[in-house]
């Protein structure tokens, strides 16, 4: 690109999320944060576009989109996930009403752009191989309707995200970067293999360290989320190259970051990989457990979870120093009315505090979606919000009323004060955090302590369970008391999401 070409004013808009299990809006507000993560896709795309273009970001999760913002732009770029769909429709209507040209991309549009007839242009799939042609056409004001990546490109050319777009980095609870794209597994309900393929593509060590340096230079200290859908998709490269480099970087910088990511349960089979992740300071991992029923696992092709004691696998990771967050699904064809209590029992015994239990939903273009279309059981498009206001978008085998009543029973039980604090106790008994690289005390930790004591101990119901838990933690596991306070605060969010009926 020649810098003497006419500059373009690009407004990036990231629509606001519907309330979901992961929004943590109430908890974030308490500690002075506005959103969990910045929009990494937009920040990365911005770094791929010509430097001489003027760029501005409005993340509607942290700030308002004004008419002045829209009027300023030559083009408005929108990126979104499926859970942002309703917000996207409203934003598109507003922008088109002001006569602006819209370019849209991201997971929502890659799997369902046909729904958005008011959008002028689309970038579908991954941007690395199509962005140059797109940018050249935009500078000539000669954009095609659709730019589509027909392959899964190498991400070794993916640039450092454009952090300068963030008005205030401290608005976010955590930063995020990416090590790989793609997952070697092929679960029936999952759209990752459609978006990113089954062969994990990885960045070079130099890229990861450059991105860590960029965050460090921005003054960030705290959580960093590796957004990979399966961080351990390429175990060999991770163990032999990436983790040793990250460990050394952390050591030299005196451990400024703690990491979390998403993995498959077979992480528990690799002691060396576990040790490497803990040494790098991975403190939390999300695992798709889905169901304790082997028939359900076979139905959805979750073969990595079969033929193993999943509770033992979870506890092994907890023993090593990692908190396990878990995803659970209700509504498989093989489910019977016994599944509700089985899910409750598994969650309680495992000590998985953050247990995301949702009703099965058929996402666009997945194998599940296609199977339900063929059997004429699909009812509507998915909102992808399978926890808050959870509904099924297909006709289940089990009676729908039985599913809904049983599902609410699961939520009422696991997020009731009694069950929740018992589950935290189970986790704390197993948890052995590493001593090196512990978090430094920050102002928001003090805010969390005060808020947790006030809300759980004075304002909300379930107070006696809270105070009993606090005393137990102080006297039995004083070194883990900060964890106890944090988990008590997050229960405020979980109980509101689950709409739990509480008692004192």
Query: Which of 148, 169, 192 is the C-terminal boundary of a domain?
Result: 148
Q: Is 56 inside any structural domain?
A: yes
| Residue 467, number of CB atoms within 10 A of its CB | 13
Instruction: Report the DSSP beta bridge partners of residue 57.
Output: 12
Q: Exposed, middle or buried: residue 140 (CB in 10 Å: 0-12, 13-18, 19+)? A: exposed
Secondary structure (3-state) at 219: coil
Q: Two tokens at 185?
A: 């597994």
Tell me the CATH number at 109: 3.40.50.280
Give the ranges where 59-104 is alpha helix by DSSP (H). 67-72, 85-97
Mean of the pLDDT values across residues 416-434? 95
Q: How confident is the model at residue 1 (pLDDT cuts 50, 70, 90)?
A: very low
Query: What is the spatial distance between Cα 368 and Cα 495, in angstroms, rounded to a whole number?
Result: 30
Residue 501 has pLDDT above 50, yes or no: no
| Residue range 29-54: mean pLDDT, rounded | 94
Q: Residues 93-111, buried b or exposed e (16+ Cβ, 10 A)?
A: eebeeeebbbbbbbbbbbb
Distance of CA 114 to the CA centre of its chain: 25
Is 426 a domain residue?
no
* In the predicted structure, residue 390 carries a pLDDT above the cut 70: no
- Give the lowest-confidence range in 46-50, 247-251, 486-490: 486-490
Q: Is residue 417 part of a domain?
A: no
Helix (H) or strand (E) holding 3: none
303 lies in some domain: no
Q: In the prediction, which pLDDT does 308 show?
A: 96
* Rg of the chain in Å (alpha carbons): 23
Which range is least confidently modeled, 11-15, 66-70, 328-332, 481-485? 481-485
Helix (H) or strand (E) holding 2: none
pLDDT band at residue 502, thresholds of 50, 70 and 90?
A: very low
> Considering the domain boundaries, does residue 1 fall inside one?
no
* pLDDT confidence of residue 461: 84
Give Cα separations from 341 to 277, 281, 350, 351, 414 (angstroms). Answer: 33, 35, 14, 16, 11
Closest among 94, 97, 127, 134 to 109, alpha carbons compared = 127
CB atoms within 10 A of CB 206: 10
pLDDT at 69: 98
Pull the structure tokens for residue 437. 């690289």
Round the average pLDDT of the chain to a whole number and report it: 92
Looking at the structure of the chain, the number of domains it has is 2
- pLDDT band of 383, cuts 50, 70, 90: confident
Please report whether residue 181 resides in a domain: no
Note the pLDDT tens digit of each residue in 180-215: 999 999 999 999 999 999 999 999 999 999 999 999
Please, which residues bridge with residue 146 across strands?
Answer: 122
Residue at a domain's end among 103, 129, 148: 148
Confirm whether 124 is domain-assigned.
yes
- How far is residue 11 CA from its own chain's centroid? 24
Please check whether residue 359 is in contact with residue 330, taking contact to mean a CB–CB distance below 8 angstroms: yes
Sheet of 257-263, strands arranged across? 174-177, 222-226, 257-263, 282-290, 323-330, 355-359
Q: Taking a C-beta distance cutoff of 8 angstroms, is the pair 192, 56 a contact?
A: no
Percent of the chain at pLDDT exceeding 90: 83
Q: What is the pTM of this model?
A: 0.93
Residue at a domain's end among 132, 148, 164:
148
User: Which of 361, 382, 70, 337 lies closest to 189 in space, CA to CA?
Assistant: 361
How confident is the model at residue 440, as a pLDDT?
Answer: 57
Query: Is the model's pLDDT at 438 over the cut of 60?
Result: no
Residue 420 resides in a domain: no
Please state, in angstroms and rounded to a whole number, the distance separating the CA atoms of residues 385 and 379.
16
Is the pLDDT score of 498 beyond 90? no
Q: What is the pLDDT of residue 503?
A: 41
- Note down the domain range covering 459: 444-498
In this structure, the number of other CB atoms found within 10 A of the CB of residue 115 comes to: 13
Confidence of residue 31 (pLDDT cuts 50, 70, 90): confident
**171 Cβ contact list (under 8 Å, min separation 6):** 33, 34, 35, 62
Q: Above 60 in pLDDT, residue 388?
A: no
Q: Across-strand partners of 258?
A: 223
Q: What is the pLDDT of residue 492?
A: 83
Q: Higher-confidence residue: 450 or 80?
A: 80
pLDDT at 457 (0 to 100): 85
Question: Which pLDDT score, from 0 to 100, does residue 444 have?
Answer: 62
339-382 confidence digits (pLDDT tens): 999 999 999 999 999 999 999 999 999 999 999 999 999 999 98
β-pair type (180-181, 201-202): antiparallel
């Amino acid at each position: 690109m020649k810098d003497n070409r006419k500059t373009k004013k690009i407004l990036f808009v990231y629509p606001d999320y519907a309330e979901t299990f992961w929004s943590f809006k109430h908890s974030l507000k308490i500690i002075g944060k506005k959103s969990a993560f910045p929009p990494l896709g937009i920040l990365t795309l911005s770094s791929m576009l010509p430097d001489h273009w003027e760029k501005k970001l409005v993340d509607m999760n942290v700030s308002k989109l004004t008419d002045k913002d829209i009027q300023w732009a030559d083009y408005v770029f929108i990126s979104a996930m499926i859970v942002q769909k309703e917000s996207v429709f409203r934003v598109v209507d507003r922008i088109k009403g002001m006569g602006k040209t819209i370019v849209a991309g991201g997971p929502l549009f890659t799997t369902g752009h046909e729904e958005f007839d008011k959008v002028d242009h689309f970038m579908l799939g991954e941007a690395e191989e199509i962005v140059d042609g797109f940018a050249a056409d935009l500078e000539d004001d000669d954009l095609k309707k659709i730019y589509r990546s027909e392959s899964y490109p190498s991400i070794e050319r993916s640039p450092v995200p454009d952090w300068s777009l963030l008005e205030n980095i401290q608005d976010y609870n955590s930063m995020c970067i990416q090590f790989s794209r793609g997952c070697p597994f092929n679960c029936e309900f999952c759209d990752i293999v459609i978006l990113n393929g089954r062969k994990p593509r990885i960045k070079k060590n130099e890229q990861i360290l450059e991105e860590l340096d960029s965050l460090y230079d921005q003054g960030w200290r705290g959580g960093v989320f590796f957004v990979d859908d399966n961080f351990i998709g390429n175990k060999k490269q991770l163990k032999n190259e990436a983790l040793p480099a990250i460990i050394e970087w952390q050591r030299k910088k005196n451990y400024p970051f703690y990491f979390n990511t998403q993995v498959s349960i077979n992480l528990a089979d690799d002691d060396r990989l576990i040790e490497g992740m803990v040494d790098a300071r991975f403190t939390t991992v999300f695992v798709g457990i889905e169901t304790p029923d082997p028939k359900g696992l076979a139905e959805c092709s979750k073969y990595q979870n079969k033929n193993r004691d999943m509770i033992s696998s979870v506890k092994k990771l907890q023993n090593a120093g990692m908190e396990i967050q878990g995803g659970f699904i209700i509504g498989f064809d093989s489910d019977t009315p016994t599944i509700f209590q089985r899910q409750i029992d598994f969650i309680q015994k495992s000590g998985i505090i953050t247990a995301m239990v949702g009703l099965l939903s058929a996402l666009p273009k997945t194998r599940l979606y296609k199977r339900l279309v063929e059997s004429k059981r699909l009812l509507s498009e998915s909102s992808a919000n399978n926890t808050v206001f959870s509904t099924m978008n297909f006709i289940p085998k089990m009676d729908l009323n039985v599913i809904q009543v049983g599902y609410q029973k699961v939520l009422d039980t696991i997020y009731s004060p009694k069950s929740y604090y018992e589950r935290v106790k189970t986790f704390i008994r197993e948890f052995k955090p590493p001593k090196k690289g512990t978090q430094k005390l920050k102002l928001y930790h003090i805010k969390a302590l005060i808020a947790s004591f006030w809300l759980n101990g004075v304002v909300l119901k379930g107070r006696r369970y809270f105070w009993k838990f606090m005393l137990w933690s102080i006297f039995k596991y004083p070194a883990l008391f900060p964890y106890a306070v944090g988990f008590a605060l997050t229960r405020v969010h979980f109980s509101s999401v689950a709409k739990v009926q509480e008692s004192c």
